Chain A
Amino acid sequence: MIPVRPRRRLLALVPAAALALGLTACGSSGPSPAASTDPAAALDTPTTLTFWTWAPGLDKTVALFEQKYPKIKVNIVNAGQSATEYTKLQTAIKAGTGGPDVAQIEYFALPEFALSKRLVNLKDFGAAALEPKFTASAWSQVAVADGVWAVPQDTGPMAMFYNKKLFDELKLEPPKTWAEFEQVAVKIKESDPKRFITSIDPGDAGGLDSLMWQAGSRPFQQKDATTVAVNLQDPGAKKTADLWTSLLSRKLVDPAPGWTNEWWQGMGSGRYAMWLTGAWAPGNIASTIPDTAKDWRAAPMPQWTAGDNVSAENGGSAVAVPSTSKNKAAAAAFAIWLNSDPQAVRSLNENGLFPATTELLKDPAFLDKPLTSLGGQPANQVFAASSAAVGKGWQYLPYQVYANSVFKDTVGQALGAGTDVNAGLTAWQKRITDYGTQQGFKVTTP
Chain B
Amino acid sequence: MSRRTTPARRRPSTALTLAMGLMLLYALLPLVWLFMSSTKDTASLMNSFGLWFGDGFHLFGNIRDVLTYDDGIYLRWFGNTLLYAVVGAGGAAFVSTAAGYGLAKYRFRGRTALSALVLGAIAIPGTALAVPTYLLFSKAGIVDTPWAVLLPSLVSPFGVYLMRVYAAEAVPDTVLEAARIDGSGELRTFFTISLRMLAPGFVTVLLFALVATWNNYFLPLIVLSDPQWFPLTVGLNQWNALATGAAGSGVTTVNFYPLVVTGSLLAIVPLVVAFLFLQRFWQSGLAAGSVKE
Residues of A within 8 A of B (CB): 15, 18-19, 22, 25-26, 52, 54-57, 77-82, 84, 87-88, 91-92, 94-98, 100, 106, 153-154, 156, 206, 258-261, 264-265, 267-269, 277-278, 280, 282-284, 287-291, 314-317, 351-353
Q: Is the CB of A154 within 8 A of B135?
A: no
Residues of chain A lying within 8 A (CB to CB) of residue B42: 287-288, 290
Residues of chain B lying within 8 A (CB to CB) of residue A96: 138
Which listed residue (B134, B241, B247, B253) contacts A106, Cβ 8 A? B247
Q: Is the CB of A95 within 8 A of B43?
A: no
Using A18-B135, A78-B238, A82-B241 as known contacts, say yes or no to A288 and B251 having CB atoms under 8 A apart.
Answer: no
* Sample of 12 further A-B pairs with CB below 8 A, known A284-B252, A287-B42: A22-B139, A26-B139, A55-B249, A80-B241, A94-B135, A259-B245, A278-B248, A283-B253, A287-B254, A291-B47, A317-B250, A352-B250
| Complex Cα spacing A206 to B255, Å | 24
> What residue in chain A is nearest B248 (Cβ atoms)?
A315
| Complex Cα spacing A41 to B8, Å | 88
Residues of chain B lying within 8 A (CB to CB) of residue A100: 225
| Complex Cα spacing A154 to B245, Å | 14
Quick one: which of B45, B246, B257 has the most chain A CB within 10 A?
B246
Residues of B within 8 A of A (CB): 42-43, 45-47, 50, 131-132, 134-135, 138-139, 141, 143-144, 221-222, 225-227, 238, 241-255, 257
Q: Is the CB of A154 within 8 A of B227?
A: no
Q: Is the CB of A156 within 8 A of B248?
A: yes
Q: Is the CB of A54 within 8 A of B241?
A: yes
> What residue in chain A is nearest B55 (Cβ atoms)?
A291
> What residue in chain B is nearest A98 (Cβ atoms)?
B143
Q: Is the CB of B222 within 8 A of A353?
A: no
Q: Is the CB of A288 within 8 A of B46?
A: yes
Which listed residue (A80, A267, A284) contacts B238, Cβ 8 A? A80
Please classify the interface of chain A as helix (H, G, I), strand (E, B), loop, or mixed, using the class held by over half of its residues. Answer: mixed
Which listed residue (B43, B135, B227, B249) contacts A280, Cβ 8 A? B249
Residues of chain B lying within 8 A (CB to CB) of residue A87: 222
Closest 3 CB pairs of A and B: A352-B251, A315-B248, A283-B251
Which listed residue (A80, A153, A280, A283) contacts B248, Cβ 8 A? A280
Q: Separation in Å of the B227 CB from the closest CB of chain A?
A: 6
Which listed residue (A79, A260, A284, A289) contacts B251, Cβ 8 A? A284
Q: Is the CB of A287 within 8 A of B252?
A: yes
Using A15-B131, A78-B227, A80-B241 as known contacts, say yes or no to A261 and B45 having CB atoms under 8 A apart.
Answer: yes
Q: Separation in Å of the B225 CB from the closest CB of chain A?
A: 4
| Complex Cα spacing A77 to B229, Å | 12
Q: Is the CB of A95 within 8 A of B245?
A: no
Q: Is the CB of A316 within 8 A of B249?
A: yes
Which listed residue (B134, B248, B255) contacts A287, Cβ 8 A? B255
Q: Is the CB of B252 within 8 A of A353?
A: no
> What residue in chain B is nearest A94 (Cβ atoms)?
B135
Q: Separation in Å of the A40 CB from the closest CB of chain B?
A: 30
Using A52-B225, A77-B225 as known contacts, say yes or no to A352 and B47 having CB atoms under 8 A apart.
Answer: no
Residues of chain B lying within 8 A (CB to CB) of residue A84: 221, 241
Residues of chain A lying within 8 A (CB to CB) of residue B255: 287-288
| Complex Cα spacing A15 to B135, Å | 11
Quick one: which of B43, B143, B247, B255 has the most chain A CB within 10 A?
B247
Q: Is the CB of A81 within 8 A of B139?
A: no
